[in-house]
């Protein structure tokens, strides 16, 4: 499997580092964004295979980000994984309705994250 380009969106730097280490260790390229608004600025026509986003962030939260990504024709089919401490069913349903493909609750196991990545873009 060749590495994919993955955009990770999380307002926690330590969480971004952990996710980045997990992904780059598996051969993927990583682009980092600190919140939904920052993430949208990175969607500038470059090829992104997958987006991994936190839910609770300042400026633009994860669900708002999913909705916004789905309105952009070149990223409409880019799979989005929510990686969050939010395990409440209602939030999950909201995320899925917005178009999130998977929901992983923090703290996560690196294998669990990589399995989801492989399933969506492998």
Does 1 have pLDDT greater than 70? no
The 3-class secondary structure across 4-37, one letter per residue, is: CEEEEECCCHHHHHHHHHHHHHCCCEEEEECCHH
Q: Would you report the helix, strand and coil content of the chain in percent, each value rounded to 5?
A: 40, 20, 40
Query: Which pLDDT score is estimated for 87?
Result: 87
Q: Which residue has the tokens 């492989």?
A: 118
pTM higher than 0.85 for the full model?
Answer: yes
pLDDT digit string (tens) for 38-55?
999 999 999 999 999 999
Reading the block at residue 94, the tokens are 């909201």
Residues 53-93 have pLDDT tens digits of 999 999 999 999 999 999 999 999 999 999 999 889 999 99
């Amino acid at each position: 499997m060749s590495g994919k380009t993955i955009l990770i969106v999380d307002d926690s730097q330590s969480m971004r580092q952990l996710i980045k280490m997990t992904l780059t260790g598996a051969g993927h390229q990583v682009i980092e964004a600190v919140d939904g608004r920052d993430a949208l600025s990175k969607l500038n026509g470059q090829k992104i295979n997958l987006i991994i986003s936190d839910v609770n962030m300042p400026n633009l939260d994860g669900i708002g980000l999913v909705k916004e990504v789905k309105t952009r024709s070149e990223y409409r089919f880019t799979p989005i994984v929510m990686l969050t401490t939010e395990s409440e069913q209602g939030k999950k349903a909201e995320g899925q309705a917005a178009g999130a493909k998977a929901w992983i609750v923090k703290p996560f196991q690196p294998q669990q994250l990589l399995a989801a990545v492989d399933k969506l873009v492998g």
